Every structure is written in structure tokens, then in C-alpha cells.
Homo-oligomer: A and B are copies of this chain.
Amino acid sequence: MYNSDTATLPSVASFVFHFKKAKFWGDNMDDELKQALHEKGLRLTPQRQIILEVMLNLGGRHLTADEIYSLVKKQTSDVSLATIYRTLELFVDMNIFRRFDSGDGVFRYEIDTKKSEHYHHHLICLNCGKIKEFNDDLLDELENRISEKGFVIADHCLRFFGYCKECKNALENEKDS
């Protein structure tokens, strides 16, 4: 599937736009991150700064720890995988990132925009490995039905596996020839 070194990710521009629009971070995200860390008695280090930056500007979304590591390493050689994992765990705790697993046993991370927008689901292409998103509030209805049965929902995860439009077309052409 994805290779760390060649990770090209979809619609970065649109994501940045989307993210800015969400107004989760102001213009000076460093200060905001710094303050958020301070509240917990923690510090803003270059590594943490770059990791957030990478996820915002370069990485796009749905990256594995290793992919993030590669991207961060392009900015500074002063990082280790261990720090990536530690920072990711920290940011997940702080609700800055979200961790989910794409079904192949490797965790992936994405910016957590939960606060400002509806949950989204993942469409995972079994051919090219790309992960797209799909928004729908149909799940609200389903959650209501489950709540009625006495189960208190804290979180959910919905993934669809299949073939994206591009791969489907490519595979069909292959078959024809």
C-alpha cells in the first residue's frame, strides 16, 4: 500500500482550507499549542511543533506513525520514532489528533475536528489504499436506537471497504483488454 517515502496525499489544499474554516486553531497555532500544553504542565518542543505542523500543512490526513516520522524527518533530523509515538499519544489524549485503525493492523492518525463538524466515515479502497471520507448523519438515527436499548455510546467507528471510482474504472478496462 502506502510507502512512507512516497506518501502523496489527496486534497491537501482543500483540507487546509477546511481546517482553517473550522477555526479550531487561530492564525498562530504555536501559541495555542503552547498554552494548551502549559495547562497540563507540559512544554512546547520543536518536535511537537513540527509534528502538528506536518499534520496540518504537509501530511494531509490518515497517516501512519511511520509516514509521519518520514515527513517530520524531512524538516529536522532531530527526531526518533519513539518521539513520534509519544507525541501522537499525547495529542490524542489532548483531542488534537484522533487515532483509528484501518483494518490492516496499523494505526493511523488524523486531525481531530470532532468539535467543529460532524463525524465522518472512511471509505478505504482495497486496490490503491486511499482513504476517502464520507459525511452523513444517518448514523444519528442508529445511535438513537442503540441508546434506547440502554447502551451508552461514547464513540464509534464506521469503515467501508471496496473500490474507489478510479480503481473500479481501471480494473474494468484491464478486464476488457
Contact = CB atoms under 8 A, between A and B. Distances in A.
A175 interface: no
B156 A158 contact: yes
A123 B126 CA distance: 25
Nearest to A100: B103
A85 interface: no
A15 interface: no
A160 interface: yes
A151 B136 contact: no
Given A105-B107, A141-B138, A161 B155 contact: yes
B146 A123 contact: yes
A158 B161 contact: no
The winner among A125, A141, A161 for most chain B CB atoms within 10 A is A161
Contact of A160 (B150, B153, B165): B153
A132 interface: yes
A151 B162 contact: yes
9 contacts: A100-B103, A126-B154, A136-B145, A138-B142, A139-B142, A151-B163, A151-B165, A153-B162, A158-B158
9 closest residue pairs by CB, A with B: A150-B165, A153-B162, A154-B162, A155-B161, A152-B163, A152-B162, A156-B160, A158-B158, A157-B159
